Chains A and B, each alone.
Chain A
Amino acid sequence: MTFKRPTSAGLIALAAGLLTATAAYAEPTVNKGDNAWMLTSTVLVLLMTIPGLALFYGGLVRSKNMLSVLMQVFYTVCIVVVLYALFGYSLAFTGSSDFIGGFSKAFMAGVTTESKAASFSVDANISELVYFCFQMTFAAITPALIVGAFAERMKFAAVVLFVPLWLIFVYLPISHMVWYWPGPDLIQDAAKAVAAATDAAAKTAAEAKLAEVNADAGFLFKMGAIDFAGGTVVHINAGIAGLVGALLIGKRIGYGKELMAPHSLTMSMIGASLLWVGWFGFNAGSNLEASGGAALAMSNSFVATAAAALSWMFAEWIVKGHPSVLGALSGAVAGLVAVTPAAGYSGIMGALVLGLIAGVVCLIFCTAIKNAIGYDDSLDVFGVHCVGGIVGAIATGILVNPALGGTGVMNYETLKAGYEFGPQLMSQIKAVGFTLLWSGVISAILYKIVDVIVGLRVTAEKEREGLDVTEHTERAYNM
């Protein structure tokens, strides 16, 4: 049934609401304030990718490759949006198996202006269409992050092929495994039914129903791993795929010998700052409601980021003798990455400590450890996103502790928050390990497939000339 005019749809929905009010439970309602916040968050996350990430990355490459990076990021957003509408949303957010969803919402079947998606509170739904758009922007930024690892040498045709393959075989399964769950309303209803059961037979039936509801969730979710805004799904996932790519494609010509200084740290400053601004949509938006939880995620995203920028800057100043702009920017991004899984769970002082640690750990990875191993991850996707993501994902299991100012983990059957140190930490570590393996192995296979079909790397001559002119027949700066 479709409605031509929203007013009549509203009236009928209201009438339907009145009729069902006497049923066992009330149909969850959509709050316009929550919807408004999610619409805003969605465009903020898009802003992170274009132009935020594009400019941050673009400024870090040599001027001859500026457009290639901008193009790869922009292409990623466009292809992911199209594929997400066609079948991506369905594969991520419908029930089917523990590892991947099904095709019941492919081509957006059945998703209308009336459809609702659960938030993290009972009876606080948002429009499913805004949930779709919000999740779509996450799917878009994740493969865009990988671009930084093989920047300045990957064929555009290889990027064109790799991004959709990676979306389908790595991103969609992991996002399903971590974020697909029945939602608070269904769990509460089933739990209430168990409590209301009067005789043994009814109780058994109700408990079976509750178990069935709880079973309809992703593999890592059921394992008990918590990931507020995408430490595993986005950052570890993209970071390890980047490292695998950098290793398979090989170093840039002249790496370690020739000057490969960033061509415009001014652009990188603009990009990193837009990332920070957009990240409020990413983290506070992941609360799915305009509530105190969103405000907590926002507070943590302020504090951890600033702390990480400072810790990287001061550590570099102490060790290398100079505080660098790129160091402060990189530290800020590392802080944003690390606070992502913890944003809605950690207390603010916890986020401060997390930021301080993440800044220093990522600095060590991007400098000492990278140089010691000798891989050429052009823009440190691994050192910042994967390492920062791991620090954040594991720290989330500690900082969620109410004794440390965290929120605890909500049990939607009892509606009480609890916390157990050992099991929670183990769940976090398992989720990190699983994501590293899944993304690492499958990404390697996908790179190999792309290599066979179109070849991963441009010729040495084109690499010397720069990808802008040779791949796109354009120049970033005509002066």
Chain B
Amino acid sequence: MKIVMAIIKPFKLEEVRDALTAIGVHGLTVTEVKGYGRQKGHTEIYRGAEYAVSFLPKIKLEVAVASDQVDKTIEAITNAAKTGQIGDGKIFVIGLDHAVRIRTGEADAAAL
């Protein structure tokens, strides 16, 4: 099992969700985050006071999938979240040792 973690542009969330649902991924955790990569930040001006805002709002989504699903998941997210512009985000894949469904006690693959 793996956790596929993706940082995407906030307005792409719905498309990514639809793409993941289409390939049979049924659970997703989403967090509003801030950060920067190559896109850097932008400038905000309030009555002449200029602030360099270096952290941009992004969405972090985490989805736990079986190992054989990882490639399909990455492909779905990439296709849905891509605009071709700088700042589209990144995908990280992390190993997952164990999973439990709290309600039933089911473990690992059955819990996903």
B51→A259 contact, CB < 8 A? yes
- Chain A residues contacting B46 (CB-CB under 8 Å) are 261-262, 324, 326
Among B32-58, those with CB < 8 Å from A are 44-49, 51, 53
A322→B48 contact, CB < 8 A? no
Identify whether the interface residues of B are mostly helix, strand, loop, or mixed: strand
B49→A324 contact, CB < 8 A? no
A330→B47 contact, CB < 8 A? yes
- Chain A residues contacting B53 (CB-CB under 8 Å) are 259
Report the minimal beta-carbon distance from B38 to chain A, rounded to whole angstroms: 22
Give complex CA distance A380, B49 in Å: 12
Query: Is A320 part of the contact surface with B, judged by Cβ < 8 Å?
Result: yes
Report the minimal beta-carbon distance from A256 to chain B, rounded to whole angstroms: 8
Give complex CA distance A262, B45 in Å: 10
Question: Mask for A307-350, Cβ within 8 A of B = 1, else 0?
Answer: 00000000000001010101100100000000000000000000
Which chain B residue has the least Cβ–Cβ distance from A384? B47
- Chain B residues contacting A256 (CB-CB under 8 Å) are 49
B residues near A (Cβ < 8 Å) are: 44-49, 51, 53
Which chain B residue has the least Cβ–Cβ distance from A265? B46
Q: Give how many A-B residue pairs fall within 8 Å (CB-CB).
A: 27
Give complex CA distance A388, B11 in Å: 42
Which chain B residue has the least Cβ–Cβ distance from A369? B48
Give complex CA distance A327, B44 in Å: 13
- Chain A residues contacting B47 (CB-CB under 8 Å) are 326-327, 330, 366-367, 380
Give complex CA distance A259, B45 in Å: 10
A260 touches which of B45, B48, B51 (Cβ 8 Å)? B51
Which chain A residue has the least Cβ–Cβ distance from B55? A259
- Chain B residues contacting A366 (CB-CB under 8 Å) are 47-48
Query: Is A371 part of the contact surface with B, judged by Cβ < 8 Å?
Result: yes
Give complex CA distance A451, B55 in Å: 39
- Chain B residues contacting A320 (CB-CB under 8 Å) are 45
- Chain A residues contacting B45 (CB-CB under 8 Å) are 320, 322, 324
A261→B48 contact, CB < 8 A? no
